């Protein structure tokens, strides 16, 4: 099948997918409403997050902040605490910033087009298309990982999907397929098909509503699609962390508002440099971050954690201050916090893996 798609094929794909979706769509809480706020929260929360993991977060988030005004009035720390454990915290910060724009500068009125949604922080073309098509019935496409996989197989695309030219082609195909009526259902059907039937490994071709239209299935290349470029090796960093205690309290630092894990609270520390012993590295990091000298005690925990583009091993040491008064050199704020108070603060997931042993 060559681009552009003929009208008959477009109609067959639309009819088959919408009919399949009507009988096979999973009952998910954000699909029970067309409320733009709920749809928006769901789309942001489910980026880089599995549905089984994201569903309870969605329900807790809407219970805490049932309206865009409630979210806009919330403190960022409260928003990040509810997001704790999900990762990609810029999503939560941008959602909070955008809620304030909608509530305070737009008078609570939501954008109604994909183009207008993209003017808000943290909303790209995919998210804007999803919200506008589902909540406002705008006939605009979506292109997430699931949709890319479906299109790469249906049209047997051999070029790597992570190349700019291929992605542009996929957007064009998605745009040609989305119908003027029920575009939100169609877009969700594409995503649902990729998530449940046209899966990355061993797709269930016999159960696919597009099996008679799928070029890859006809040629037997579905296991080879989509094609992706070769990823570089994932770097690994050795990290030392100081659990600095004084009078039953531990010293926490709040990360700067922008950047990785922005706005979260953490135990101070940093990367071990080449040929550097752990104790030497930890003393150097704490001197640089807090302006104090510490005594490094016993090893409390060793934790492994993976981020999207790198991996870390955290070596957590019990420490005390030898001299100096801590200053927030690398953090926006410092606090002495008891174990009983840990639950009030939003920590990076890697920190959550060891605070229980302190």
Which residues are annotated as catalytic?
A: 43
Radius of gyration of the chain (CA): 24
How many Å apart are CA 331 and CA 47, to the nearest integer? Answer: 28
Stretch (H or E) spanning 251: strand 249-254
Q: List the structure tokens of 331.
A: 């953090």
For residues 184 and 156, what is the distance between their CA atoms, to the nearest angstrom?
Answer: 25
How many CB atoms are located within 10 Å of the residue 115 CB?
14
Establish whether the linkage from the previous residue to 4 is cis, with ω within 30° of 0. Answer: yes
User: How far is Cα 175 from Cα 148, in angstroms, rounded to an integer?
Assistant: 12
135 vs 138: CA distance, rounded Å: 8
Helix (H/G/I), strand (E/B), else coil: 98: helix
Find, among 10, 357, 17, 320, the residue nearest to 184 by Cα. Answer: 17
**H or E element: which one contains 20?**
helix 7-24
Residue 213 phi, psi (nearest 5) = -110, -5
What is d(CA 108, CA 147) in angstroms, rounded to the nearest whole number? 32
Q: Are strands 311-323 and 293-306 parallel, antiparallel or unpaired?
A: antiparallel
CB 272 within 8 A of CB 355: no
Instruction: Please list, in sequence order, all residues whose beta carbon lies within 8 angstroms of the beta carbon of residue 232, skipping any fewer than 6 positions away.
Output: none
Six-digit token pair at 312? 């870390």
């Amino acid at each position: 099948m060559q681009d552009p798609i003929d009208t008959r094929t477009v109609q067959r794909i639309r009819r088959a997918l919408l009919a399949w979706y009507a009988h096979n769509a999973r009952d998910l809480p954000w699909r029970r409403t067309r409320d733009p706020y709920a749809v928006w929260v769901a789309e942001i929360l489910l980026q880089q997050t599995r549905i089984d993991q994201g569903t309870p977060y969605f329900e807790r988030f809407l219970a805490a902040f049932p309206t865009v005004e409630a979210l806009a009035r919330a403190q960022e720390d409260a928003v990040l605490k509810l997001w704790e454990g999900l990762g990609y915290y810029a999503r939560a910060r941008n959602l909070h910033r955008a809620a304030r724009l909608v509530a305070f500068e737009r008078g609570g009125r939501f954008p109604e087009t994909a183009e207008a949604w993209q003017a808000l922080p943290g909303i790209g073309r995919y998210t804007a298309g999803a919200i506008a098509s589902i909540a406002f019935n705008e006939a605009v496409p979506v292109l997430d990982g699931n949709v890319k996989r479906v299109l790469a197989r249906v049209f047997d695309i051999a070029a790597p999907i992570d190349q700019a030219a291929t992605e542009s082609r996929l957007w064009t195909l998605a745009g040609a397929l989305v119908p003027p009526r029920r575009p939100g259902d169609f877009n969700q059907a594409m995503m649902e098909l990729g998530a449940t039937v046209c899966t990355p490994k061993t797709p269930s071709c016999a159960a696919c509503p597009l099996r008679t239209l799928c070029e890859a299935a006809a040629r037997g290349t579905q296991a080879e699609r989509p094609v992706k470029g070769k990823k570089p090796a994932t770097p690994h960093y050795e990290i030392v962390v100081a659990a600095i205690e004084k009078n039953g309290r531990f010293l926490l630092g709040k990360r700067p508002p922008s950047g990785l894990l922005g706005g979260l609270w953490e135990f101070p520390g940093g990367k071990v440099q080449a040929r550097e012993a752990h104790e030497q590295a930890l003393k150097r990091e704490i001197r640089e971050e807090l302006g104090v000298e510490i005594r490094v005690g016993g090893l409390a925990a060793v934790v492994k954690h993976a981020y999207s583009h790198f991996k870390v091993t955290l070596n957590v040491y019990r420490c005390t201050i030898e001299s100096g008064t801590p200053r927030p050199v690398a953090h926006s704020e410092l606090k002495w916090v008891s174990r009983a108070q840990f639950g009030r603060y939003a920590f990076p997931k890697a920190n959550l893996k060891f605070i229980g042993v302190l």
